[in-house]
Structure 1
Amino acid sequence: METAEFIRILEREGRSLASAAERAGTDAKVPTCPQWQVRDLLRHTGVVHRWATAFVAEGHTAFRPMADEPALDGEELLAWFRSGHRRLVDTLDSAAPDVECWHFLPAPSPLAFWARRQAHETAVHRFDAEAARGGTHGEIARDFAAELGPDFAADGIDELLRGFHARAKSGARSAEPRVLRVRAGDTDGAVWTVRLSEEPPAAERGEQGPADCEVSGPAADLYLALWNRLPFPRVTGDASVAELWRQRSAVD
């Protein structure tokens, strides 16, 4: 996917997140993040948007911590979120393709990284905001899949497996070596082999040898399941491997 596509998805998903949050109300519980209410979701995502904007807009080439979350609520919080989201989109849209700044996963360029990362960050949290409005997760997931499409969801799976969990801080580890296969049936070539051990997971594209467990289904459902928002659509083989992922794969 191209950087411009990610920016457009980020723009749409941020608007949808704010609309869903407004309809749910900031007091509403977020069932996909049980420790949060909608106000926590808006504060967190709004701070992340501003954090990302600063790297691109100000050209910071070293890590800088996120700011504290604001003590805003209600209409003020929604306005604050929308303002930060708008500035992030505008910053990415207007940035030079060769802008230099800090980023934390491999990417063709810093701009490509931040556009992709913020599109996925915002999409997953938009699902959280929709869940806070009520309705079954299955219904919400169907709408989510229809809007985002399988290619974007498959890209998000790839970012998670080969990006986030390749880092030393990944907690998805196993004392006994195990192999998890991830297969998105609605996207050509969307198959991953994930080797779990006491080291960070090693994920490769394709069927690389036998697997102890396979999780499969539509790309969007797998995307949300791997981010622990939904159950896995289908599990074959040793289900304890899928459960190990669910218990240990939270991303900091």
Structure 2
Amino acid sequence: METDRLIKFLVREGQLLAAAAVEAGPEAPVPAFPGRQVRDLLRHIGTVHRWATAFITEGRTHYRPADEQTELDGDELVEWFREGHGLLVAALSEAPADVECWTFLPAPSPLAFWARRQAHETALYRTDIESAAAGKPGPVAPDFAADGIAELLTGFHGRSRLRSEAPRALRVRPLDTDDVWTVWISTDTPRAEPMEEGPADCELSGTAEQLYLTLWNRLPLSAVSVTGDTELAKLWREQSALTEP
């Protein structure tokens, strides 16, 4: 997906997230994260936005940890989130295409990386907070969801601990886009390609939105269709936890 479109999604997702946080209130529990409240997610994503902004605007070429999270709460916390979101959007919109800074996944450029990563990070937290407010998340656009699946499978899964003694193939097929991925799982780092190549031991299918939220552990496996070896799907679920950069 083009960087300009990802920035537009980032704008929209952040606005929806803030609106859902106001509706839910800071103390609302978040279904995807037992024991956590809306205020916890706002503090986290607001900190992440400022952390990402600093790499872009200051040209940081080495990893630096994020600052301590704010102790703000209530309306002040929502406004703090909106401010950080706005700073991130401005940084991405105004940065030169050849900006150099630290990244942690393969991408055509640092600008493309940060636009994509922050758009999806914000979108996922938006669905979490909407679920806290209304019991379920609002929709995710199919092409944007497919882009998030691609980022997860071809990027983040290279950092996961998913392994299998016997080589296996897991296919992921959205039914409302033209995408398909095959994930090869072995004793080495998982490898995913955006193609349909050879037979698969297990296939996950559903709408791009369903797969996006399931693969990012926001919905149970029962939210999508699982055909073939269901044990492989369960193995993915158990071992696909991601590490922080």
SS in structure 2 of the partner of residue 209 of structure 1: coil
- 1:178 equivalent to 2:173? Answer no
Contact 1:156 1:223 in 2 (8 A): yes
Structure 2 distance, partners of 1:134, 1:3, is: 31
SS in structure 2 of the partner of residue 166 of structure 1: helix
Code of the residue aligned with 1:78 in structure 2: it is V
**TM-score (normalised: structure 2):** 0.95
Code of the residue aligned with 2:39 in structure 1: it is R
Structure 2 distance, partners of 1:247, 1:150, is: 26
1:166 deviation in Å? 1.4
SS in structure 2 of the partner of residue 195 of structure 1: strand
Contact 1:31 1:131 in 2 (8 A): yes
Q: Give the corresponding residue for 1:58.
A: 58
Of residues 153, 157, 164, the one that matches 1:165 is 157
Q: Give the corresponding residue for 1:245.
A: 236
Any runs of at least 4 consecutive aligned residues in structure 1 with deviations exceeding 4 A, and if so which? none
The range that moved more, 174-183 or 83-92, is 174-183
- 1:214 equivalent to 2:209? Answer no
- String of CA shifts for 1:137-156, please: whole Å, max 9, x gaps: 4xx3xx313xxx21111111
Structure 2 distance, partners of 1:211, 1:112, is: 31
Structure 2 distance, partners of 1:37, 1:48, is: 17
- 1:128 equivalent to 2:137? Answer no
- 1:119 equivalent to 2:119? Answer yes
Q: Give the corresponding residue for 1:19.
A: 19
Number of aligned positions between the proteins: 241
Structure 2 distance, partners of 1:38, 1:117, is: 21
Structure 1 distance, partners of 2:218, 2:89, is: 25
**TM-score (normalised: structure 1):** 0.92
Structure 2 distance, partners of 1:66, 1:176, is: 39
Q: Give the corresponding residue for 2:10.
A: 10
SS in structure 1 of the partner of residue 7 of structure 2: helix
Contact 1:227 1:250 in 2 (8 A): no
% identical equivalent positions: 61
Q: Give the corresponding residue for 2:139.
A: 144
Contact 1:43 1:70 in 2 (8 A): yes
Code of the residue aligned with 1:109 in structure 2: it is S
Contact 1:172 1:201 in 2 (8 A): yes
Uncovered stretches (5+) of structure 1, i.e. residues with no partner: none
SS in structure 2 of the partner of residue 183 of structure 1: strand
Show the 5 A alignment for 1:188-227.
Answer: 188=178, 190-227=179-216
Q: Give the corresponding residue for 1:83.
A: 83
Q: Give the corresponding residue for 1:28.
A: 28
Aligned-CA RMSD value: 1.2
1:194 deviation in Å? 0.7
